[in-house]
Amino acid sequence: MNQMLSNVRIPATTGQFNLRNYEETYQSFAWKDVEKEFTWHRTGKVNAAYEAIDRHCELGRAEKIALHYYDSRREESYSFLDLKRLSNRFANILTDLGIVKGDRVFIFMPRSPELYASFLGIVKVGAIIGPLFEAFMEGAVRDRLADSEAVAIVTTPDLAKRIPTKELSHLKHVIVFGDESQLEDNQLHFQSLMDHASEEFEPVWVDREDGMLLHYTSGSTGKPKGVLHVHNAMIQHYQTAKWVLDLQENDVYWCTADPGWVTGTSYGIFGPWLHGVTNVIRGGRFTPDDWYSTLEKYNVTVWYSAPTAFRMLMGAGDEIVKKYNLSSLRHVLSVGEPLNPEVVLWGMKVFEHRIHDTWWMTETGAQLICNYPSMDIKPGSMGKPIPGVVAAIIDDEGNILPPNRMGNLAIKVDWPSMMRKIWKNPAKYDEYFRLDGWYTSGDSAFMDEEGYFWFQGRVDDVINTSGERVGPFEVESKLVEHPAVAEAGVIGKPDPLRGEIIKAFISLREGYQVSDELLNDIKQFVKKGLSAHAAPREIEVKDKLPKTRSGKIMRRVLKAWELGLPTGDLSTMED
Ligand code: PRX
């Protein structure tokens, strides 16, 4: 952290914000009061897709724009009624295919209106939706579909090629959105099915604790784990969208995250739509001009993005900002990695808005520690816990540490959007709760005297590159599959733009010589096997890697080498 900036304060803004008095609300708030907003209050049953879309048609918002979609080829808008009908059609398709409550149905396609209609349709039939980021390659797709025993997937002709259907015995239906002539045998054509499906559908009413969403995320060991969220999570999506995103009836909201990541579902789908707010989805990849022109084109009022994006825009300079009219913008937020104080100050200068940092994780399902409109911002701090959540810094025995002491960032169990399961891996789930009564995040942080939390790093080896979580083990496993690689150790190397980049240390097998060509080939190998964001940007070849006597690569030693820091205790290292 830049010490020079640690004493800067940016005063609270006032006006139309929802959480006026943090301290008072914190004391008096109870989650059960939020439940009254939803249908289950009357019936005891629920469906999050009904609450997000159909309900608004009964509340006079049927013709209101729910979705503005825009990419280089398409520009379309959909009302809440349009989305209700489209998702009903898709729900009927799934029902006709025999898909029932609890089945896992995946989506593997670039952002498009069809992605959102399918997503909502899957939730409507009570199935569990597994969204996959379009950059995943065959190995990553296989692992996730196999682990979850997915029965159906919605995809495109190109991406379908990365689905190894023959190896996935549970996968019965591949529904392809695209040109019918590009379909292969046994694939179903999305548009033809949609054309013939009825737009009437009664949502499958489920219990609050029924599974809804499965997001795979990385840890420091083993393959990605399936984090299961239930319909109940919507309580917290709704309430944080109110307090933190500050969403109100006339807002036009843009969350830049893809639904393959949790931000793109909790706050790209549920947060805005539970409030009946107009949602902007920008497809494709975008240049700085595209970012600003999207804000201008739709008169975006609330914008939720990530530090990597803000740093990229900062790098593009201040002049470009002046080309656009961003006067509609009133609230800006960030998530996913540490938000540099410099970026907050830059935001003040060019947008004349505070960038509100928010902290949470795939596992937590929704925001937990945040900067609110009604609170002073200390640039570099993640803010304070939302009402209804108790956060603390604890030591490895579970004792609460006093202010300014660094330790494990932990959350008192539980909160409405907490994950309910790690798919087929109860032991992994229990690890998070090993300290009685606490969820341990794996992040280290401290809390200052005023109750603001400051992120310090990861306790484990998980890498955060451009806000995307990468497990070193998965990358190492892929690296050693390459014929030239004998051993591999992977770390996050600090990077001014991406936060961290993936750096691999490898040793080569007998008979291989280092060359640029070989290293490039190894990078491409990981990219093709896993995904672009998991491929190392740097590879360093060593004769031997530091290992424990039991043969485990010592990533902390690699990191110390990289950073030029002392290597610490080496007593467990082999000779
Ligand atoms: O290390 C923290 C970092 O991202 C991790 C969670 O990653 P993921 O599950 O992919 O979810 C990201 C979006 C919810 C955390 O353990 N992280 C997230 N937000 C912040 C952060 N680090 C610093 N500051 C943040 N605001």
Q: Give residue 106 CA to ligand 1 midpoint distance, Å.
A: 24
Q: Check if 68 has its Cβ closer than 6 Å to any atom of ligand 1.
A: no
132-141 in b/e form (b: 16+ CB < 10 A) is: bbbbbbebbb
CA distance 458 to 212: 28
Q: Check if 244 has its Cβ closer than 6 Å to any atom of ligand 1.
A: no
ipTM of the complex: 0.99
217-238 in b/e form (b: 16+ CB < 10 A) is: bbbbeebbbbbbbbbbbbbbbb
Q: Three-class SS string for 409-457?
A: EEEECCCCCCCCEECCCHHHHHHHCCCCCEEEEEEEEEECCCCCEEEEE
Q: Check if 366 has its Cβ closer than 6 Å to any atom of ligand 1.
A: no
Amino acid at 467: G
Q: Check if 210 has its Cβ closer than 6 Å to any atom of ligand 1.
A: no
CA distance 173 to 122: 13
The contacts of residue 213 (CB under 8 Å, 6+ apart) are 123, 128, 129, 130, 131, 228, 229, 233, 265
Q: Check if 47 has its Cβ closer than 6 Å to any atom of ligand 1.
A: no
Which residue's CA lies nearest to atom 24 of ligand 1? 338
Structure pTM?
Answer: 0.94
Which residue's CA lies nearest to atom 22 of ligand 1? 337
- Give the number of the atom of ligand 1 that is nearest the alpha carbon of residue 357: 26
Q: Which residues pair with 393 in a beta bridge?
A: 409
Which residue's CA lies nearest to atom 11 of ligand 1? 361
**What's the pLDDT at 39?**
76
Q: What is the three-class DSSP state of 367?
A: coil
Q: Check if 391 has its Cβ closer than 6 Å to any atom of ligand 1.
A: no
Q: Check if 262 has its Cβ closer than 6 Å to any atom of ligand 1.
A: yes
CA distance 469 to 447: 24
Please choose from 244, 310, 335 the residue to mutate so as to test ligand 1's pocket, defined by most ligand atoms within 8 A of CB. Answer: 335
- DSSP state letter for 548: B
- Give the number of the atom of ligand 1 that is nearest the alpha carbon of residue 441: 16
| Digitized pLDDT (tens) for each residue of the chain, 575 residues in all | 444 456 789 988 865 557 778 888 899 999 988 988 887 767 789 999 999 999 999 999 999 999 999 999 999 999 999 999 999 999 999 999 999 999 999 999 999 999 999 999 999 999 999 999 999 999 999 999 999 999 999 999 999 999 999 999 999 999 999 999 999 999 999 999 999 999 999 999 999 999 999 999 988 888 899 999 999 999 999 999 999 999 999 999 999 999 999 999 999 999 999 999 999 999 998 899 999 999 999 999 999 999 999 999 999 999 999 999 999 999 999 999 999 999 999 999 999 999 999 999 999 999 999 999 889 999 999 999 999 999 999 999 999 999 999 999 999 999 999 999 999 999 999 999 999 999 999 999 999 999 999 999 999 899 999 999 999 999 998 999 999 999 999 999 999 999 999 999 999 999 999 999 999 999 999 999 999 999 999 999 999 999 887 778 899 999 999 999 888 777 777 76
Sheet bearing 355-359, strands edge to edge: 75-79, 65-70, 278-282, 252-255, 302-305, 331-335, 355-359, 369-370, 384-385
Q: Check if 54 has its Cβ closer than 6 Å to any atom of ligand 1.
A: no
Q: Could you count the other beta carbons within 10 Å of the beta carbon of residue 146?
A: 16
Q: Three-class SS string for 232-260?
A: HHHHHHHHHHHHCCCCCCCCEEEECCCCC
Please choose from 305, 310, 337 the residue to mutate so as to test ligand 1's pocket, defined by most ligand atoms within 8 A of CB. Answer: 337
Q: Check if 231 has its Cβ closer than 6 Å to any atom of ligand 1.
A: no
Residue 283 and residue 70 in contact, taking contact as beta carbons nearer than 8 Å: yes
11-38 in b/e form (b: 16+ CB < 10 A) is: ebbeeebbbeebeebbeebeeeebbebb
Which residue's CA lies nearest to atom 4 of ligand 1? 336
The contacts of residue 219 (CB under 8 Å, 6+ apart) are 225, 428, 442, 460, 462, 471, 473
Q: Could you count the other beta carbons within 10 Å of the beta carbon of residue 533?
A: 18
Q: What is the three-class DSSP state of 459?
A: coil
**What's the pLDDT at 16?**
53
Q: Give residue 514 CA to ligand 1 midpoint distance, Å.
A: 36
- Give the number of the atom of ligand 1 that is nearest the alpha carbon of residue 363: 9
Helix (H) or strand (E) run with residue 575 in it: none
